[in-house]
């Protein structure tokens, strides 16, 4: 199906590829995906209306695919693991911020009074998982001002163990060497994330 647009064929293909990737990630609404397209292709003159026309058929195609998915997907299992971690006092955030640096800087803002640790994956991690490369999880312990680096590392390792245990209890495979400086990888993982309703 061809769509009327002022975009060059290459820019249109880039917009469609990006939209398909964001739809596959499964965290954004159609209008948010369209806004992302406009931001990325601002030098190409893409309008919000054109972006929405690009997103709509890809969104509908993904909705149709979802009908054939298993009742419980790996992403559902991941959400269950994150819910269990939240119940334990570990802030668990999915598709959180654009990158690791921003995630580490902002995760403290998600903490409750009794939160002692955190785990998250950021938008680039989501994109990698949706592309079939597994999911990387960042984690740590919230550190008090007077805490030594050794105590902090020990507490972070404890959070890592809790994350791995929650993942395994939910039926996911976790790869981790036990080091507080190493991210936890969830793989193999089939990224089937249902679109927001």
Each residue's pLDDT expressed in tens, for the chain with a length of 197 residues: 344 567 889 989 999 999 999 999 999 999 999 999 999 998 888 999 999 999 999 999 999 999 999 999 999 999 999 999 999 999 999 999 999 999 999 999 999 999 999 999 999 999 999 999 999 999 999 988 889 999 999 999 999 999 999 999 999 999 999 999 999 999 999 999 999 98
Residues 23 and 118 in one domain: no
- Give me the pLDDT at residue 2, please: 45
Residues 61 and 78 in one domain: no
Residues 83 and 57 in one domain: no
Residues 27 and 102 in one domain: no
Looking at the domain assignment, is residue 194 inside a domain? no
Q: What is the DSSP letter of 71?
A: S
Looking at the domain assignment, is residue 87 inside a domain? yes
- Give me the pLDDT at residue 76, please: 98
Q: Using the structure block, give the residue that is written with the tokens 């991690």.
A: 125
Residues 78 and 148 in one domain: yes
Residues 62 and 98 in one domain: no
Looking at the domain assignment, is residue 89 inside a domain? yes
Residues 82 and 159 in one domain: yes
Number of domains in the chain: 2
- Give me the pLDDT at residue 143, please: 86
Q: How far apart are CA 5 and CA 49, in angstroms?
A: 10
Residues 178 and 96 in one domain: yes
Coil, strand or helix at 129: helix
Looking at the domain assignment, is residue 113 inside a domain? yes
Cα separation values, 69 from 60, 64, 81, 112, 131, Å? 15, 10, 20, 35, 17
* Boundary residue ending a domain (22, 38, 66): 66
Residues 100 and 36 in one domain: no
- Give me the pLDDT at residue 153, please: 95
Taking the model in full, what pTM does it have? 0.92
Coil, strand or helix at 141: strand
**Domain boundaries, position 90:** 74-186
Residues 59 and 80 in one domain: no
* 149-169 and 74-87 helices, crossing angle to 10°: 130
Looking at the domain assignment, is residue 168 inside a domain? yes
- Give me the pLDDT at residue 164, please: 98
Residues 21 and 117 in one domain: no
Residues 51 and 135 in one domain: no
- Give me the pLDDT at residue 146, please: 87
């Amino acid at each position: 199906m061809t769509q009327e647009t002022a975009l060059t064929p290459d820019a249109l293909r880039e917009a469609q590829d990006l939209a398909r990737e964001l739809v596959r990630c499964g965290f954004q609404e159609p209008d948010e995906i369209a806004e992302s397209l406009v931001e990325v292709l601002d030098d190409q003159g893409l309008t919000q209306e054109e972006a929405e026309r690009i997103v709509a058929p890809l969104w509908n195609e993904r909705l149709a695919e979802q009908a054939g998915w298993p009742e419980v997907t790996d992403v559902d299992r991941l959400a269950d693991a994150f819910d269990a971690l939240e119940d334990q006092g570990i802030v668990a955030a999915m598709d959180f911020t654009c990158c690791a640096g921003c995630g580490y800087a902002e995760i403290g803002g998600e903490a409750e009074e009794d939160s002692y640790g955190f785990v998250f994956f950021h938008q680039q991690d989501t994109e990698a998982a949706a592309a079939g490369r597994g999911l990387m999880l960042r984690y740590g312990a919230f550190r008090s001002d007077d805490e030594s680096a050794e105590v902090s590392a020990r507490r972070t390792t404890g959070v890592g163990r809790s994350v791995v245990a929650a993942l395994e209890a939910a039926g996911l495979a976790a790869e981790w060497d036990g080091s507080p400086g190493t991210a936890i990888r969830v793989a193999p993982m089939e990224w089937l994330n249902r679109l927001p309703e």
